[in-house]
């Protein structure tokens, strides 16, 4: 079952999950660009979510956990799916199609700002000195990573709006996840939120994108498989475990390593440039993660 935690630092197991999560989600930003070159966005997200959600529910069942949504909790699970899955994924997939992958990751991971604010307003969490310092370090890293690309951002306002909407939706979903505390095993709960989010996306894709649908080549197809198994089945499960370990302001700040990996992987996979600003950002972002993750 999900058990709330009152620790404000990640335990060693949580730190290992964080490292795997940052790598899995960070690599996924350029991979999404590859998939979108041949697969329509709604079909892409719907297929990954439905297969990933069904896979997690199957794993929970095989592990002996109950996969039933508890009585009276369907509305809460649907709300979590709406913001954590539908809102984040729909806005993010269109945002990454309009912006360079690494830059889209940066805007999406302004989520800690909204998460910290909403956790104070809704959950009554306190922003102590350590968390404020980590927030400043992490956001400074994002600003450094943006560097001279601000003019490029301003040339794609729709992409900016999509990524900021995605960030807000994810932040609000995290706060709801923490507040609701649905009494279900994390694996089953994650699977249901993904499945409930993927079905309406598939219904929307049928009339809107079927004419553009075709069999993808090897690398886009491999990207869909990566999204299903790594980005969704593993990473969403790991993220929900981390959210339950620490306050929202800590878990959201811990995610700041992901856009750094997104930019580096964009350079390695798609040939996007990297320079001094990326190195400065690396020091700032990793300092922010260390501040909220490592004990004295």
Mean pLDDT of the chain: 82
| Range from 169-183, 231-245, 256-270 carrying the lowest mean pLDDT | 256-270
Q: What does the DSSP 8-state code read for residue 69?
A: P
209/201 Cα distance (integer angstroms): 11
Distance of CA 189 to the CA centre of its chain: 16
> pLDDT by residue (tens digit) across 187-221?
999 999 999 999 999 999 999 999 998 999 999 99
Model's pTM, two decimal places? 0.79
Please report, for the chain, the start and end positions of each structural domain, with discontinuous segments joined by +. Answer: 20-293
Residue 166 pLDDT > 60, yes or no? yes
- Given a contact cutoff of 8 angstroms between Cβ atoms, the answer to whether 54 and 232 are in contact is no
Confidence band for 85, pLDDT divided at 50, 70 and 90: very high
221/234 Cα distance (integer angstroms): 19
- Given a contact cutoff of 8 angstroms between Cβ atoms, the answer to whether 9 and 246 are in contact is yes
Query: Helix, strand or coil for residue 63?
Result: coil
Which structure tokens are listed for 160? 């900016």
pLDDT of 6: 47
Neighbouring CB atoms inside 10 A of 168's CB total: 20
Average of per-residue pLDDT across 165-194 = 88
Pick the closest to residue 189 from 229, 109, 244 (CA basis). Answer: 244
Higher pLDDT, 168 or 144: 168
pLDDT of 289: 66
pLDDT of 86: 93
Residue 239 pLDDT > 80, yes or no? yes
Phi, psi of 12 (to 5 degrees): -55, -40
Phi, psi of 238 (to 5 degrees): -65, -40
Which structure tokens are listed for 5? 């935690």
| Range from 87-91, 161-165, 262-266 carrying the lowest mean pLDDT | 262-266
| Range from 85-89, 130-134, 221-225 carrying the lowest mean pLDDT | 130-134
Higher pLDDT, 270 or 235: 235
Q: Rounded to a whole number, what is the distance in angstroms from the first to the last CA of the chain?
A: 30
pLDDT of 176: 87
Residue 3 pLDDT > 50, yes or no? no
pLDDT of 265: 82
Confidence band for 254, pLDDT divided at 50, 70 and 90: low
- Given a contact cutoff of 8 angstroms between Cβ atoms, the answer to whether 57 and 191 are in contact is yes
pLDDT of 26: 87
> pLDDT by residue (tens digit) across 36-81?
999 999 999 999 999 999 999 999 999 898 999 999 999 999 999 9
Average of per-residue pLDDT across 87-109 = 83
């Amino acid at each position: 079952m999900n058990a709330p935690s009152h620790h404000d630092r990640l335990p060693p197991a949580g730190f290992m999950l964080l490292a795997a999560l940052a790598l899995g989600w960070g690599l996924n930003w350029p991979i999404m660009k590859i998939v979108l070159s041949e697969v329509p966005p709604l079909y892409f997200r719907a297929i990954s979510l439905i297969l990933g959600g069904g896979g997690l529910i199957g794993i929970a069942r095989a592990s002996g956990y109950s996969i039933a949504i508890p009585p009276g909790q369907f509305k809460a699970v649907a709300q979590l799916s709406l913001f954590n899955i539908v809102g984040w994924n729909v806005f993010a997939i269109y945002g990454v199609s309009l912006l360079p992958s690494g830059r889209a990751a940066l805007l999406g991971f302004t989520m800690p700002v909204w998460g910290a604010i909403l956790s104070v307003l809704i959950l009554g969490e306190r922003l102590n000195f350590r968390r404020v310092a980590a927030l400043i370090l992490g956001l400074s890293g994002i600003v450094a990573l943006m560097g001279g690309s601000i003019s490029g951002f301003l040339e794609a306002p729709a992409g900016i709006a999509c990524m900021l909407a995605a960030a807000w939706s994810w932040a609000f979903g995290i706060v709801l996840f923490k507040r609701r505390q649905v009494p279900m095993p994390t694996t089953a709960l994650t699977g249901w939120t993904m499945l409930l989010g993927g079905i309406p996306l598939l219904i929307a894709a049928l009339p809107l994108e079927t004419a553009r649908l075709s069999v993808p080549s090897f690398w886009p197809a491999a990207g869909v498989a990566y999204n299903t198994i790594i980005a969704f089945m593993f990473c969403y499960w790991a993220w929900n475990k981390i959210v339950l370990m620490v306050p929202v302001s800590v878990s959201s700040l811990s995610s700041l390593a992901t856009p750094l990996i997104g930019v580096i992987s964009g350079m390695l996979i798609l040939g996007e440039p990297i320079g001094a600003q990326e190195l400065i950002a690396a020091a700032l972002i990793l300092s922010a993660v260390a501040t909220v993750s490592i004990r004295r």
